Amino acid sequence: MFDFFAAFTIGLFGSLHCVGMCGPIAAALPYPSKKKTDLLGSILLYNGGRVLTYGFLGLLFGILGASFSLAGFQQVVSIGIGICFLIAVLFSFNIETTLMKWKWTSHLFFFVKSRLSIFLQKKSFQSLFFIGLMNGLLPCGLVYLALAGAISSGSIVGGVGWMVAFGLGTIPLMIVAGLSGSFVSLKFRNIFKKAYPILLIVFALLFILRGLQVEVPDDWYIVQLVSGKVFCH
């Protein structure tokens, strides 16, 4: 199982990053109409495509997590994920840059970007949906953090639910930005950039605590929200 509210909250607070990174794509979306109602529908189609892709990734990583759980490695996996996050922070390890250096992932990202460039030239509701689908596959550290939660859920349903809830959490701010025609300023993006390593450290410790089966005190509300409920068995 998974905690929809916690996964949604992570997506909601992390959407500041989404708007900052995906802002150029969202600004270039080929809206068929500029009417407010049509514009809202267009934005929902685009974001619906993203959430669908996240759900599919959650399915894949949920299967992986379920396999680890059945094999009795769930605690080891949780600790391992936490250690990897700590290493990434301590050694300023950029996951996106590293993935781009791998042959098969670089080919995938090149394919995604080429498809995006094609769909961005077509003004139709269908193209907006496919742009969202493709955008969900672009390299993003926040998505990888969510995928770690999908693996740690230990089930297929939990993995899909985790990623869908996370994706839904990113939508409100994307809608506001899309309707207002403005995106997160450089100042706020820099603030998030500085806070991002802290977020990784917090999650790294929570993954490790879960793997060690350490009980979280009831008065640690925020920590309990993530470690006690998000990663429930």
Q: What is the mean pLDDT of residues 197-210?
A: 79
Kindly tell me if the per-residue pLDDT of 181 is higher than 70. Answer: no
Residue with more model confidence, 112 or 186: 112
Q: What is the pLDDT of residues 208-229, one digit of tens each?
A: 887 787 655 544 444 444 444 4
Kindly tell me if the per-residue pLDDT of 199 is higher than 80. Answer: no
The Cα–Cα gap between 167 and 170 comes to 5
User: Among 28-37, 128-137, 147-156, 174-183, which range has the highest average pLDDT?
Assistant: 128-137
The pLDDT value given to residue 227: 44
Kindly tell me if the per-residue pLDDT of 32 is higher than 90. Answer: no
- CB neighbour list of residue 145: distance below 8 Å, 6 or more residues apart: 10, 14, 85, 199, 200, 203
